[in-house]
Amino acid sequence: MKNSRKLADSEKVRFFAMTQRLTASSNPAERKRIKKELARMTFGGQISRGRTMTNKANMTGMQGVYRVAAELTKNGLIVSPTSRSAFGADLLVTDQKCERARSVQVKTNAGRPAFWLLNKHAGKMKSATHIYVLVNLRQENLRRRHEEPDFYVVPSRIVARCMRTTRRRTGSIFYSIHRDEIERYKDRWEMFV
């Protein structure tokens, strides 16, 4: 667990150092190289020509949402994606009798980094009916694209308690949760039953 935390912290330090270098650089070639490296770190692979990071991030996020919806449906639950503009919930979930409803926020990484980025409101969203599903798609290279994703089904109160805030000298603030703090929530789909 200690080694996992060290790895997560070193990944995060490297990520933030790269963002700081990007902000400070005025050299277009260096900025392009740094952006590619940040994309690789974030999404687990190179961005192909013509694709923007935003498109890749949206596609990764949507893949996570629909993978989670599929898992919940396999468990006999009724699942409905929300509007893309809905704040705080990507899916609405209920049982067959509509007796237990849940809202679900999905956070997805294309690769298998040791942390997920959150929004600043995650620290305040504590509800017994709100659940986060953190997904690692494990697509860091083409040979491993067919591996099953890792799912961490985490109550919102745990996410709020474990959320870390990192302030950079540039003024940027990042919010995250680390895998070593939520390992016990891997594949905990029973929270929906």
State the DSSP H helix or E strand holding residue 131, giving kind and residue range, or none if neither: strand 130-136
> Across all residues in the chain, what is the average pLDDT?
82
* Confidence (pLDDT) at 32: 81
Residue 48's pLDDT is what? Answer: 47
Confidence at 116, pLDDT banded by 50, 70, 90: very high
Pairing of strands 91-94, 101-109: antiparallel
At residue 10 the predicted structure's pLDDT band, cuts being 50, 70 and 90, is: low
Q: What is the band of 20 on the pLDDT scale with cuts at 50, 70, 90? A: confident
pLDDT at site 52: 46
CA-to-CA separations, 138 to 43, 117, 148, 149, in angstroms, rounded: 10, 16, 7, 6
Does residue 141 carry a pLDDT above 70?
Answer: no
Cross-strand bridge partners of residue 107: 134
Q: Residue 83: what pLDDT?
A: 79
Looking at residue 3, its pLDDT comes to 54
Q: Is the pLDDT of residue 145 over 50?
A: yes
- pLDDT tens digit sequence for 26-72: 888 888 888 777 766 655 544 444 444 457 777 888 889 999 999 99
Provide the pLDDT confidence category of residue 148 given band limits of 50, 70 and 90. Answer: confident
CA distance 189 to 70: 12
CATH number at 54-192: 3.40.1350.10
Give the separation between CA 20 and CA 14, rounded to whole angstroms: 10
